[in-house]
Amino acid sequence: MFFPRAYHLRAVEGKLLFWAFAYLLVGAGALYFLKPAPSTAVVLVGALTTMAAFWGLHFFWSWTGFVGDPFLLPLVALFSSTSLVFLYRLNPAYAFRQFVWLMIGLFTLWVITRFLIRYRVLADYKYVYALAGVIGLLLPIFFGVEQGGAKSWLDLGLFQVQPSEFVKILLVLFLAAFLAENRLALAEGTRTIMGVALPAPQEWGPLLVMWGISLLLLVFQKDLGAALIYFTTFLAMVYASTARITYVFLGGALFLAGAAGSYALFEHVRLRVEVWLNPWQYVETAGYQVVQSLFALAAGGLTGSGLGAGLPLFIPAVHTDFIFAAISEELGLAGGLGLLLIYMLFVYRGFLIALAARDDFSCLLATGFTALMGLQAFIIIAGVTKLLPLTGVTLPFVSYGGSSLVANFIILGLLLNISHETQLLKPLENG
């Protein structure tokens, strides 16, 4: 079989992957020449294996005539390259683990684009997702282990899993299926109270219940970052499906009330806000991380200290939440902005996929996943640069963390499947 469209798209993808790999190889080369020794040559092997894995997926898609978006995989290849290079520079042990997770992630991506190409069947199980999501959030409360103030990890012996990373996928799946079904009722309202058209409780009830449960659970888990991402993604999807700004204002007001309430109730929230307002008064204790991050950003200057020449290891958790500070220190403002631009391009492609999608479910799914990615990147970068109070979430595809990486590859796979279907259906219409 020969698909000219697929050939063209995959040719673009191949060309972009080539540039991403040049970037990875130069990074790995710099790491090698920092400490030229036979044992360091493992970075070059790792870089070549990563390249081979991405190329393998690319050739598989060319062979099967996959017409998914050609930009997403190269953008993710660049994120993964940055991730591996910086994790190796920070601590080679993290880079090895991340490399293994990357391979698992790429395998997951292959499975999704190979066997879940008819992703629409996912729309039929929305209450299963709601249930699975609630269970996924409940498990760590009873069986979880605490790390960095948040009790959101499950210890599986060999490795630890963070269920909330996967619950966010379930949340988007549930919301997309639910909103696609009830979009008209929510947008236009079925009854009128005081001149305002409102939808009936059976339409917004399940949303609110689902919502309340996740927020309560997150309060008990103390995972503020995840709660913030869930809530903003939820608002983005409701707005995308109803085009009613009222819901956004209402949600914003609810959020502010919730924020004020948790500020009054919880010690750890109050501390976060105070550190955000003035980290210098806690410079030796709670503010240490943010202050070190600010020092790192300042030390980077315009073009950075150069790979391996900075001192990012002063920042606690630099390999997960604060990896952006390390990147900005060693690649400077230029490198940080470059990475931000790549996130923006990723979000741009995601919204293009959503706009082109043929039905509500696909459109909302793509919107939700894209909003999730964009908001997550924004929230953690804003936390690291002290634009917002710090909430611990990972930088998608770049931070160290297996659960997060695999979850992001699942999202990537579904986005690609949606764009694949849109491209296939394109010839049906004329002009």
Residue ranges that bind another protein, judged by CB under 8 A = 1-5, 8, 12, 15-16, 19-20, 22-23, 26-27, 29-30, 33-34, 36, 70-71, 74-75, 78, 85, 120, 184, 303-304, 306-309, 331-332, 334-335, 338-339, 341-342, 345, 348-349, 358-360, 424-431
| Least Å from the CB of residue 331 to another protein | 6
Nearer to another protein, 310 or 389 (CB): 310
Nearer to another protein, 284 or 429 (CB): 429
Cα Rg of the chain, angstroms: 22
Nearer to another protein, 18 or 220 (CB): 18
Nearer to another protein, 85 or 406 (CB): 85
| Least Å from the CB of residue 240 to another protein | 12
Could you count the other beta carbons within 10 Å of the beta carbon of residue 137? 25
Bridging pattern class, strands 144-147 and 160-161: unpaired
| Rounded CA separation 44/25 (Å) | 7
| Least Å from the CB of residue 189 to another protein | 14
| Rounded CA separation 224/354 (Å) | 28
Cα distances (Å, whole numbers) of residue 364 to 32, 108, 181, 381, 397: 45, 22, 11, 25, 22
Structure tokens at 116: 């879940």
Nearer to another protein, 339 or 405 (CB): 339
| Least Å from the CB of residue 133 to another protein | 24
Per-residue b/e over 190-212, b at no fewer than 16 CB within 10 Å? eeeeeeeeebeeebbebbeebbe
| Rounded CA separation 326/332 (Å) | 9
Could you count the other beta carbons within 10 Å of the beta carbon of residue 172? 27
| Least Å from the CB of residue 289 to another protein | 26
Nearer to another protein, 30 or 104 (CB): 30
| Least Å from the CB of residue 135 to another protein | 29
Residue among 354, 364, 296 at smallest CA distance from 330: 296
Cα distances (Å, whole numbers) of residue 237 to 69, 341, 420: 22, 23, 22
| Least Å from the CB of residue 58 to another protein | 15
Structure tokens at 123: 């729309």
Residues 6+ apart with CB under 8 A from 52: none
Residue pair 334/304 in contact by the 8 Å Cβ criterion: yes
Nearer to another protein, 157 or 431 (CB): 431
Long-range contacts from 212-216, C-beta under 8 angstroms, 24+ separation: 213/134, 213/137, 214/133, 214/134, 214/137, 214/167, 214/171, 215/258
| Least Å from the CB of residue 192 to another protein | 19
| Least Å from the CB of residue 430 to another protein | 4
Three-state secondary structure call for residue 412: helix
| Least Å from the CB of residue 82 to another protein | 8
Nearer to another protein, 170 or 307 (CB): 307
| Rounded CA separation 221/216 (Å) | 9
| Least Å from the CB of residue 23 to another protein | 4
Residue pair 152/114 in contact by the 8 Å Cβ criterion: no
117 Cα distance to chain centroid? 21
Nearer to another protein, 85 or 379 (CB): 85
| Rounded CA separation 413/169 (Å) | 12
Across the strands, what pairs with 155?
A: 160
